[in-house]
Structure formats: C-alpha cells, structure tokens
Amino acid sequence: MSTAQLAFATGGDNIAAFLNPTFAGTDAMSGTVVTQITFKGATFPTSFTSTSGNATSGLAPNLTDGVNAVSLAATDNGRYDENASGSMETGSRQEVEASLNTDAFWVTGGTPFSPGGHENGTFMVITPPTVVRIDDDDDSVIVGSQVLFTITFSEPINATTISVSDFVNRGIASILVGSITEVTPDVYTVRITPTTEGTLILSLPAGASANNAGIATVSEAIDGETIAAFAVPNVWINEIHY
C-alpha cells in the first residue's frame, strides 16, 4: 500500500486495516492494525511488515487469527457469505467479529464473483452492551458505611472505560462512589457509601462511559431494590447508683 495507489496482487492478497495510520514516504506506514485478512494460505506468514507491495506480510502482533483476523487458503477471490450456516451478522461485537473472522464463512474462487445481490456488501449490526442486573448485599445501611454492588453486563466491557462518574443514585441519599473492581470481563463490583440519610437506588445511566470497543450502553439500568440509609441514633445510658 502506498500514498499514491492501492493495487492488489493477482495471486492473492494481504490486507490490513490501520487505525490512525502514519505514512513514511510511499512504501511504509505505521499505526494500530485493527484487523487483517490474507488470501495467501491457511495461516499467516511468520513476519509482519507494514510496507507496500509486501505480499508476505504476516499477522500483526496485536491480532489473533480467527479472532480479529482471518486467513484463507491461497486464492485470487473471496467474499464473506452471510448465508453460510452459523454465520452471524447481528449480535454483540464479539459475536459479529468472530463470525467475520471464521474462514468457513468465506467463499473463495479462482474467478471474480458476480455481484449477485452483494452490490452493497454485507451489513453488520452490532448490538450495544446492556446491564443484565445490579445486585446489592444489604437492605439497609448506616450512613458512612459501604454497600457492595455487583454489576453484570451482557458482554465483556473494557475495564479502563468504567468510571466512578458512571454511577448515580436515583434515591435521595447523597453518595460517594468508591473502588470499582473487575471480577470477570462482564462482571464488576462497585462500593457505594451513602453520606446522608435517605434511600439508595443505584443506577448506570444510558450513555455511561463503560463500553465495549467504543460501543456504549443505550438504556439505563437501575437496581431493583431500595436500600435505606440511616444515621446511628444517639444512645443515652443512665447510670444509677444505689
């Protein structure tokens, strides 16, 4: 690939998609490779070089064949087949990506394919992650004490995108959001401390920063239980001497 032109080889191609590429002259570029496909064989070559005309470029080190890249047997032509049994064009990012990078869902051949209904390509619909449930471990809490909440998502979430600012209280108590811990890629815990009396109903609003590859939740999730936060009452002890 070069700044001047994009020319495919006649004996199979290696194609890499770069995020924020930087060109170095006309024969090399750098950037983050987000996906890759080769029509040169069932596996990628061993070494990766981001230069134009490099028909033997191997798999970028940050990619995994069959997960976010696909290698096809040596051929001149190929296309993804949305009609293949088991293929998935609508689903979570992981489901759609896995389908797109499964070589069994590709058809290949030695002659060019006629459009045959594929003039506009195959449309992929990625469903955004959702919060399956919010669980808590208390019915009531003393002001200043922590409550542990467990947040379960419908799919893995990028842990670096979850922020304390994502969580709000739909009750009337003021709260302090504490530590957020990843239990598994789709399950997180968060510690909430009420700082005033009232009710605690934890919520993760729509559009919160927590996301999967930039795809954020689109609907609000609210804890189905209400926790009462109350102050410790004053206790008077009268000592009686006889």
Q: What is the 3-class SS of the chain, one letter each residue?
A: CCCCCCCCCCCCCEEEEEEEEEEECCCEEEEEEEEEEECCCCCCCCCCCCECCCCCCCCCCCCCECCCEEECCCCCEEEECCCCCCCCCEECHHHHHHHHCCHHHEEEECCCCCCCCCCCCCCCEECCCCEEEEEECCCEEECCCCEEEEEEECCCCCHHHCCHHHCEECCCCCEEEEEEEEEECCEEEEEEEECCCEEECEEECCCCCCEECCEECCCCEECCCCEEEECCCCCCCCCCCC
pTM exceeds 0.85 for this model:
no
pLDDT in tens, the chain (242 residues): 333 334 444 555 778 887 777 766 555 567 778 888 887 777 877 766 655 555 556 788 888 888 888 988 767 777 888 888 888 888 777 788 888 888 888 888 777 776 655 445 556 677 788 888 999 888 888 999 999 999 998 888 888 888 899 999 999 999 999 999 999 999 999 999 999 999 999 998 887 887 766 666 767 888 888 899 888 765 566 666 56
What are the sequence ranges of the domains in the chain? 14-126, 131-230
The fold of the 131-230 domain, in CATH, is: Immunoglobulin-like (2.60.40)
The reported pLDDT for the residue numbered 9 is 47
